[in-house]
A and B are shown apart, each in its own frame.
Chain A
Amino acid sequence: TQLLEQSPQFLSIQEGENLTVYCNSSSVFSSLQWYRQEPGEGPVLLVTVVTGGEVKKLKRLTFQFGDARKDSSLHITAAQPGDTGLYLCAGRTNFGNEKLTFGTGTRLTIIP
């Protein structure tokens, strides 16, 4: 059973446009992480959010954790070709839980 659903599954936009990727669940997570994966490589951590309603910014990327800690979003402003990749959200369901549950992924392509 996939606990985390991401939307859209695929997204292709022009350079300079803005976009939002969503990560949704019916379960409550104690924390949530976002990873980016490039072809032929493993995922790399972008950010960790731990508090309901928390917003974190990483240059042009803005991450938000839902108030109820069941969902999250990633907003990219003025997308660049270097943003191209597979974006994965991943959550922990219990405090101290060593396991992550990964979302289904969003494959983003930025067209120059």
Chain B
Amino acid sequence: NAGVTQTPKFRVLKTGQSMTLLCAQDMNHEYMYWYRQDPGMGLRLIHYSVGEGTTAKGEVPDGYNVSRLKKQNFLLGLESAAPSQTSVYFCASSYWQQNQPQHFGDGTRLSIL
């Protein structure tokens, strides 16, 4: 049972570089989410998707873009990385029914120099 798989696990970028974080889930979940986790701030929602081909903004969407071309994959892009985007990024997925748990990957630790 792979669950939610995030790649890469670690990455160091220079300011201005771009990259894509990949998230894959094998549970046939309709909903997928991208969060960032910073010390003392819990998890903050960046973008989310309620189905293939749909995306929506969360609490902190600026500087990020997402795509959900296939139901099982949710991609998070940084077009021009900034030091403020240094964080641990988590992907999660869930079924659409009310009060379902969100299942998380193990995170991607991203440092922007």
User: Which residues of A approach B to under 8 Å, CB–CB?
Assistant: 2, 4, 6, 9, 31, 33, 40-45, 48, 50, 88, 90, 92, 95-96, 98-105
The reply to whether B43 and A102 form a contact with Cβ atoms under 8 Å apart is: yes
C-alpha spacing A86/B64, complex, angstroms: 26
List the A residue with the shortest CB-CB distance to B45: A99
In chain B, what residue has the closest Cβ to A42?
B104
- Whether B90 sits at the interface, judged by CB under 8 Å, is yes
Size category of the binding interface on chain B: 20 to 34
B residues near A2, Cβ cutoff 8 Å: 41-42
Other-chain contact of A42, B42, B59, B92, B94 (Cβ < 8 Å) = B92
Residues of B within 8 A of A (CB): 4, 31, 35, 40-45, 48, 50, 58-59, 90, 92, 94, 96, 98-99, 101-107
Would A92 and B42 count as touching, CB distance under 8 A? no
Establish whether residues B105 and A42, one from each chain, have CB atoms under 8 Å apart when the complex forms.
Answer: yes
User: What's the least CB distance linking A93 to chain B, in Å?
Assistant: 12
> In the assembled complex, which residues on chain B have CB atoms less than 8 Å from the CB atom of A48?
99, 101
Which residue of chain B has its CB nearest to the CB of A44? B104
A-side contacts of B45, CB under 8 Å: 99-101
Give B33 Cβ to nearest chain A Cβ, in Å.
8
B49 to chain A, nearest CB (A): 9
| Residue in contact with A99 in the complex, picked from B4, B48, B99, B105, CB distance below 8 Å | B48
Contact status B48-A98, CB under 8 Å: yes
Select one of A9, A96, A102 contacting B98, CB under 8 A: A96
Q: Are A42 and B106 in contact (CB under 8 A)?
A: yes
Q: Which residues of A contact B99 (CB under 8 A)?
A: 31, 33, 48, 50, 92
Q: How far, in angstroms, from A90 to B99 measured CA to CA in the complex?
A: 11
Whether A98 pairs with B107 at a CB distance below 8 angstroms is no
Which one of B45, B50, B101, B107 has the highest number of Cβ atoms from chain A below 10 Å of its Cβ? B101
Taking CB atoms, residues of chain A closer than 8 Å to B94 are 98
Bound-complex Cα distance A45 to B41 (A): 18
With beta carbons under 8 angstroms apart, the residue of A33, A96, A102 that contacts B44 is A102
